[in-house]
A and B are shown apart, each in its own frame.
Chain A
C-alpha cells in the first residue's frame, strides 16, 4: 500500500519540478526571440492541410529571419499537434502559453480554435485562427481573430445567386461542421422552398437521399459535402438518376478529380475566396515546390497562413510584442494587402472584404460565373 503512494508522490514531484525548471529556463535565455505558437493537425486526417500550413510557416520564418527579423528580433515558431481535437489543442495551448510564454497563437481547425479561445482570452493571448469557418467563432472573444471567411459568408453568396434563379431547391448535406454550418446559414438566407437530406461522413452511396430529394421535383440541386470524393459520387448518381437541370456545389468543385469528371461539367460552385495569380503567390509557390518537392493541395490554407503571418509581422513592426497592443492594432487594420486580396478586421475579429466567389466548370476549366 505504502509503496504505490510513494510512487505517485514521486511522479507528481518530478512533473512539478520539471515544469518549474522549464518555466524558468525558457524565461531566461530567449528574451530576444518573438515566439509564435502554432497548433494544427500534424497527424491524423487533418494533417494534409496542417502540414502544408506548417511548411508555409517555415518558409515565412526563414524569409523574415533572413531579412533581419522584426525590428531586429528573430521570430521562432513552436509547432504543436492539436489533431483537430478540443482536448489535445487545449493542452497544447496551455503548454505554449505557460511554458513557452508565447503571446501569439495560430490555430487551424474550428474545433481547436473554439476550445482554445477561452484559454487565450483568460491569459490575454492573441489567437489567430487561420482556417476556421465555424460561425460560432465570430463571438469567441476580444483576442480572437480569423483569417478566414465564415460559413455564413459562403451561404449568403450561395443564397443570393441561387435564389435569383430557382425557388425550389434540393440540398444534400454532409453531417460535418463545415457543411452543416453552410446549410444552416443558407436556410436563413435563401428565399424559396428547400428539400434537404443529410448523409453521415463515412457514407459512400447517396441514392436513397437523392431519390427522396428528386421525388419533390426540385428545380435545381445544391450538393454540400465536406469531401470532394463524396461530392463527385453524388454528382454521378444524380446524373444516373436522370436529373438534367442545374447542379450547384460548395467548394468541392475546385478539386482536380471533380474538374476532370464528365458529370461535373457546367456545375456552378462556390469556392474559397479568389487567390489571384499575383507574383507574390507565384514566388511563394515556387519556393514551396523548391523546398518540399510538390505543389500544396490546399491553396487557400497556404495563402491564408501566409497572409496571417505577414499581418502579424506588420503588427509586430508597428507595436511591440505585447498581446494587448497587438490586439488593439489589429482592430484598426482595414486595408491589408495580401494574397487573399485587400481586407481588414471587423469589431468581432472576422475579416471583411474577402468573400467566397461563384465559379463554373466548363470543359474541365474553372471560369468565373456570370448569372444570366
Chain B
C-alpha cells in the first residue's frame, strides 16, 4: 500500500534511529564524545555480510554483528577510559581510521576496496524478509527493542550512575561508583546496537565497501544526536525523522539540472544551521558536553 519509496525511507530511518539512539547512550547519557561510532557500524556490517555470504542464518549474523562490535567497544574503552572530551573524541576518531584501514587492506577477508556485493536478504524463523515491507517491519521491531532497552537503561540505577559520571566523575567516584566499569559498559552496549544497525544496513543495501563507512558518515548521526538534544531520547527520534526526511522533499522542487546536486545540499545545510541558531541545545537538550 505504502509507496516503496516511503518504505525505503522508513527503513533508513529505522537503521539511523538505532545508530543515533545508541550514540545517544554513549554521548548524551555517559558524556563520552565518541566519534568512533561509525567504526562499530562498519564492524557489524562486515561481520554480518561475511557470515551471510558463507551461508549463516540471519539471526546468527545480526547477533554476531552486535557481539563483535560490542567486544571492540569494550576493547576501545580500555585505553580511552581516562580520556575526556576532545581527547576522547580524537582517540575514537583514530579508531574509525583504524577500522577503515583494516576493511580496506585485509583483502582476503573483506575483499578490500572491491566491497562485498550480493549479500543475501534475511530470513528469520522461516519468514522471508526479502520484500521491503517485511524488512521495514523487521527494522521497526529492532528499532523499537533498541529504544526500549536504552530507555530502560537510562531509567535504571545503572543509567543514573552513568549520568552522574557524565556530570561529575570525581563525585561519582567518591560515592563509590566504579566509573571505569560504568563507561566501559556504556560504550560496549552502545557499540552492540551500532553493530546491529550495521548488520541491517548490509542485508538491506546488499552491497558494502569501505567507503560506506568513512568518517564523513558520522556527520548525519552526530547531527541527529545534537539537533535532537543531548540526553533526550524523544529528541533523538524526532531528529532522526527530520535529518533523514529533510533532503527528500528537496528532490521535488525541480531545480534546473545545472544546480540540482549542490542546491539540495546547500538548502539542507541552511535548514540545519537555522535549527541550531534557534535551538542551540537541540530540540530537547538537557545537558551540554564539556
Partner-B contacts on A (CB < 8 A): 1, 4, 7-8, 11-12, 15-16, 18-20, 22-23, 42-43, 47, 50-51, 54, 58, 77, 79-81, 84-87, 90-91, 94-95, 97-99, 111, 114-115, 118, 123, 134-136, 139-140, 175-177, 179-181, 184, 198, 200
Contact = CB atoms under 8 A, between A and B. Distances in A.
B211 A85 contact: yes
Given A86-B208, A114-B115, A99 B3 contact: yes
Contact of A87 (B4, B12, B117): B12
A19 B234 CA distance: 25
A42 B261 contact: yes
Interface stretch (B152-160, B249-257, B274-282): B249-257
Contacts of B8: 90-91, 94, 98
A43 B265 contact: yes
B105 interface: yes
Nearest to A58: B257
B53 interface: no
A7 B238 CA distance: 8
B252 A22 contact: yes
A176 B113 contact: yes
A107 to B, nearest CB: 13
A95 B251 contact: yes
B205 A115 contact: yes
Contacts of B249: 18
Given A20-B3, A47-B261, A114 B113 contact: no
A111 B205 contact: no
B26 interface: no
B174 interface: no
A226 B8 CA distance: 33
A18 B253 CA distance: 13
Interface in B246-290: 248-249, 251-252, 257, 260-262, 264-265, 284
A136 B211 contact: no
A134 B114 contact: yes
A19 B114 contact: no
Given A81-B264, A136-B117, A136-B118, 11 more contacts: A11-B238, A16-B2, A18-B249, A43-B265, A51-B261, A85-B211, A95-B5, A98-B8, A111-B212, A180-B112, A184-B114
Nearest to B211: A111
A20 B2 CA distance: 8
B3 A90 contact: no
Contacts of A47: 261
Nearest to B100: A200
Interface in B206-243: 206-209, 211-212, 234, 237-238, 241-242
Nearest to A123: B4
5 contacts: A42-B260, A134-B115, A175-B104, A200-B101, A200-B104
B6 interface: yes
A118 B206 contact: yes
B51 interface: no
A20 B101 CA distance: 43
Closest 4 CB pairs of A and B: A42-B261, A98-B5, A81-B261, A94-B8
Contacts of A123: 4
B207 A115 contact: yes
A136 B114 CA distance: 8
A4 B154 CA distance: 19
| Of B12, B115, B237, B284, most A-chain CB atoms within 10 Å | B115
A177 B209 contact: yes
Given A15-B9, A81-B261, A95-B251, A114 B212 contact: no
A189 to B, nearest CB: 17
Interface residues of B, number: 43
Contacts of B207: 86, 111, 114-115
Contact of B238 (A8, A99, A118, A181): A8
B107 interface: yes
A50 B264 CA distance: 16
Nearest to A20: B3
Contacts of B205: 86-87, 90, 115
Nearest to A41: B261
Contact of B234 (A4, A50, A136): A4
B89 interface: no
B245 interface: yes
Contacts of B107: 180
A15 B257 contact: no
Contacts of B265: 43
A79 B257 contact: yes
A261 B260 CA distance: 37
A4 B239 CA distance: 11
B3 A175 contact: no
Contact of A114 (B117, B234, B248): B117
B220 to A, nearest CB: 10
A86 B257 contact: no
Given A80-B251, A118-B206, A94 B115 contact: no
Nearest to B107: A180
A202 to B, nearest CB: 10
B257 A54 contact: yes
A361 to B, nearest CB: 27
Contacts of B237: 4, 8
Contact of B6 (A7, A8, A15, A58): A15
A91 B9 contact: yes
A97 B4 CA distance: 9
B2 A43 contact: no
B2 A175 contact: no
Interface string B2-33: 11111011001000000000000000000000
Contacts of B114: 134-136, 177, 180-181, 184
A204 to B, nearest CB: 16
A63 to B, nearest CB: 15
Contacts of B238: 4, 7-8, 11
A139 B117 CA distance: 10
Contacts of B208: 86
